Amino acid sequence: MKIGCLARYFNPYGEEVEFAQNNNFEFMQIWYDSNGIALKKDSDPIESIKKYNFPTIIHAVLDINEFEEHVPKLIETMKYLGHQELIIHPICKSEEITVQTIYKLSDKVSFALEELSRENITLYLENNSKLDPIFNASNEIEIMFKQNPNLEFLLDIAHIDNYEHLKSMVKIKMPKILHIADRHLEVIHEHLPIGQGNIDYKHIFADIFNEFHGKVILEIVQSSNDMLNSKAKIEEYCGIKSSSAMLQY
């Protein structure tokens, strides 16, 4: 299992690389939206990523009506950086969500898959919470993967409704990437350090993902100590010897 962290957009990218390297994170996730790559302290984010040459994966938040514009842009960026994997986090703010919206989203994902496959880039689609009610319900997860069998799944555990919802999604498609953060399950949307909410990660890794060997991304930005304490807890639950006992800069 490989554990990654977020490249915090509010810090210089070089500092984030140093933090990740010193604390044994194996890769970082880079935020992308309609404004491009979010690294606010770097004048040329793409060149910064290229310069430091640390393993990264782009997490693109795309509205349902932004795929045609941004997928080609993402492909050019990824070819330049040598990336072979892309995360798309789909949202739908530009129009009303109805029972038919999942089929429109599926068509957009099919377009992205076709474009990305030409460059041998693997696409992962991330589930939403009820805060963004598209690609959240189990029946929508099933529709998406039935229509797009080559699509891979990124499962954000902080977006689950409850443990039965989690199990139902895993039954439809075993994810190859997990987003990890804590949350109070009675709150519709939170991303907290592990142990500060009430998600039972010990149960999740012992009983649901006991044979998981993919990537784990800690979606935690509260503080460096929170990131490292969360990493140590996940390593403990997965039976991995902790490599994050001390904060290193």
pLDDT, tens digit (0-9, with 9 covering 90-100), for 9-57: 999 999 999 999 999 999 999 999 999 999 999 999 999 999 999 999 9
Q: Provide the percentage of residues in the chain whose pLDDT is more than 70.
A: 96
Cα angle, residue 141 at apex, residues 231 and 97 outer, rounded to 5°: 110
Q: Lowest mean pLDDT: which of 10-24, 136-150, 166-180, 232-246?
A: 232-246
Q: What is the pTM of this model?
A: 0.95
DSSP state string for the chain: -EEEEE--TTS-HHHHHHHHHHTT--EEEEEEETTEE--TT-SSHHHHHHHH---EEEEEEEETTSHHHHHHHHHHHHHHHT--EEEEEEE--SS---TTHHHHHHHHHHHHHHHHHTTT-EEEEEPP-TTS-SS-SHHHHHHHHHH-TT-EEEEEGGG-SSHHHHHHHHHH---SEEEE-B--TTSS---B-TTSS---HHHIIIIISTT--SEEEE---S-HHHHHHHHHHHHHHTTPPPS-SS---
Tell me which CATH code domain 2-237 carries.
Answer: 3.20.20.150
Q: Write down the pLDDT at residue 39.
A: 95
Look up residue 80 and give its two tokens.
Answer: 């330049």
DSSP state string for 199-217: --HHHIIIIISTT--SEEE
| Domain coordinates in residue numbering, the chain | 2-237
